[in-house]
Amino acid sequence: MSNVIDSKYNRRIRDTDRRRFKSLVLSNDRRKEQRRQRSVDIANEFNQKFLKPGGRHSRRTKERRGFLCPANIFPENSILREKEAIHGTIVNISSQGLAIALSSGADWLTSCNEVTITWGPSTVLSGRIIWKDFNSYYLNNGNSYLIGIELNKTANNKSTLRFSPPLEKNLTRIESISDIPSVDFYPLYIGGRDVDTGIYGFSADTAKLILNPSETLLNQETILNGSIPDNNFKSTYAAYCIAYDNYIDEAIDAAFNAWQEFRHTSIHKRKRLFYDFYDNIKNHRSQLIDLMVKEGHPLRLAEWEHAGMVKAYEPKTINFYLKQLFRKLGNDGDEQLFLARKPDGVVCVMPPGNAPCPNSLLAAFALLGGNTLIIKPPLRNPISTMYLWRKVIGDVLQSNKISPGVVNLIIGDSEGILKKWLASPKVSDIVYFGDSHTGLNIGSQIYSSGKKPILELSGNDTMVIWKDANLEGAADSLIEGFNGSMQICMVARRAVIHPAIYDQFQSIILDKIKKISAGLPDDKTSYLAPVGKIELFYEYLLDALRKGAQLIYGGTRINYAGSPDPSGIFITPTLITVEDIPIAETMKCTLEEGFFPLLTLINASDRSSKIESDDIIFSRIMTFLDQNTYGLRTSVWIESKRYMKKFIKSIQGSGIIRINLLHTGFSAFVGTHGGPKRSGGPFGELNYLWEKTTHLQGIALRE
């Protein structure tokens, strides 16, 4: 009978948790649908109010410089459509190819699988888009490639493309991976052995992609079609294996079999392993940073990422974690009482696409708890992650004679691999990194399959700057958030500032922002990286300006050299100000995570001329923080001990609070990731992976 009662109780708990997941998922669905509602009204309003002479803010925009948003940012048909033919008119035919004017914006073209260009009743060009870079289009129409270069965009939103004569595929075929000895090869790693599946992906150096996108991307397509390009892999630096069904099953079996032995590994031996991990992470610094730079991370960002990896694995932190795995509570008469954390089993990990290497290392803490791992790097830019797990972690496991299969490394279709993990009774936990909408849906699937979801999702962090703060320190902390063009989760995208120092701080931060530069990834002075969501950036910026924000600096599309370029893939760091919190609470840029270089300064006043008490200002700031639907980090810059204690006590919705410290910094003991709300789902909190991937057990004994 007790088992029946327990079953009903557990089912009731599971149903409640499922409803919590569903509520979060539906909330995210609504937000995503709202983001899709784009129309020509956005472009018209932007042009009328913010660009044309005489429009509101036109003089201010000119005086503050740096703002460039050409009309073609918002094409006339800005709703992207799938599998729809594009029709255009030939404007010139020459030996260089066809020049074609398309009636729709280029963004529409890139969304289509099939493209047809017609002239009168005849079809002149038809093919499938195989790749699109910043202003070039690559079509495959059967046995040939065509490269379309965007020549210009006219005032009536027509894009002119020139397609070069077809490049015939009469190239040398690749028969095996040994045909390309100049390229580093990364096989899968399953059951303690390197596995060549015979199916390969290739990684191009981002710097070469930026400098010569047409040649680099065409070379990639040539290689993927099994041929050696004319320049013999000059832009390709690595090849990697791709897994399919059998290999995914093999990895699950290998991890499960290894767990049968590894879960009994002593605490002392696990400690030795993690000390060696720490040493190896430091020893491979240059290799890891070099690979992350090749994947497009600015050198400054890659160095910060590596420093965070080292900090997280310091021996004093490892010792602290190990003490939590088995603790004696005390005695009760002749009974001895203990708490122990026991491993869950096989833990599967999907790191994020933007920074897979440093984020995936978080998962190694599952080994501390006695679990085994399957790591699936993203198909795009997997090399630094593969190097980390094969050379840095894998070599330590081998040198310590740990059971083969404790760590397994596979790459392939994420959806197919996830289905395998969900269906396998041998998998216990799944760690997923990604955006909140996708992650909460996946978390619901994981939970429904009877496994433990561990979610690392989006963030929309806030910095609070009190009236007695170190303003230079606070400004420097915000500036560091522009590393990689704010395309990482744990940066402060909004700062709430005490009215007494609002104007002073604005002047300080503006001087620092003007010094931020773009560049190639290996440029030591560069902060900025290519922006992946340029259209969304301008949508959020326009929304803020339309609702009353002031553009102080930035908003310009630029090339890697920093010159204004309507087709540039970089955006100058952008600063906007909002004069009170109620207005800020209506803006997309303060409500949602934005993966682009847009910083919002918010005045914590009520816009009246009266002087308010600090208690009222504190209460207003806390209400704003409490309404944040994300929960990674909150930082506060303050000297007052009284209000410092009030902030620490009152801030509830963040996984990490940092006081007078770099917002993106790392500290011993307290972990690096995690948070509640849409950042971690219904079970989100500061994320100790050694704890999340284990379960608590009470022990009472009498000797």
pLDDT at 214: 75
CB 440 within 8 Å of CB 18: no
To the query of whether residue 415 is one of the catalytic residues in this protein, the response is: no
Alpha carbon distances (Å) from 196 to 76, 374, 393 = 48, 17, 20
> What secondary structure does DSSP assign to 436-460, as a single string?
HHHHHHHHHHHHHTT-EEEEE----
C-alpha 343/C-alpha 325 separation (Å) is: 10
pLDDT at 224: 67
pLDDT at 460: 97
pLDDT at 432: 98
If we measure between CA atoms, which residue out of 559, 598, 571 comes closest to residue 135? 559
- Write down the catalytic residue from 250, 305, 456, 691: 456
To the nearest 10 degrees (0 to 180), the angle between helices 267-283 and 285-294 is: 60
Helix runs in 184-266, H state only: 206-211, 213-224, 245-262
CB 29 within 8 Å of CB 525: no
3-state secondary structure of 227: strand
630 burial (CB, 10 Å; 0-12 / 13-18 / 19+) is buried
Q: Is the dihedral of CA 299, 301, 304, 305 positive or negative?
A: negative
C-alpha 454/C-alpha 440 separation (Å) is: 10
Copy the structure tokens of residue 701: 């004994």
Angle in degrees, CA 98, 100, 101, rounded to 5:
165
pLDDT along the chain (703 residues), means of 10: 35 47 50 42 44 34 24 25 39 46 43 46 50 45 46 49 45 67 91 92 91 79 70 83 91 99 97 98 99 97 98 98 97 97 99 96 98 95 97 97 97 92 98 96 97 98 99 98 96 98 98 97 96 93 96 96 92 97 95 96 85 95 97 98 98 98 98 97 96 98 94
pLDDT at 231: 67
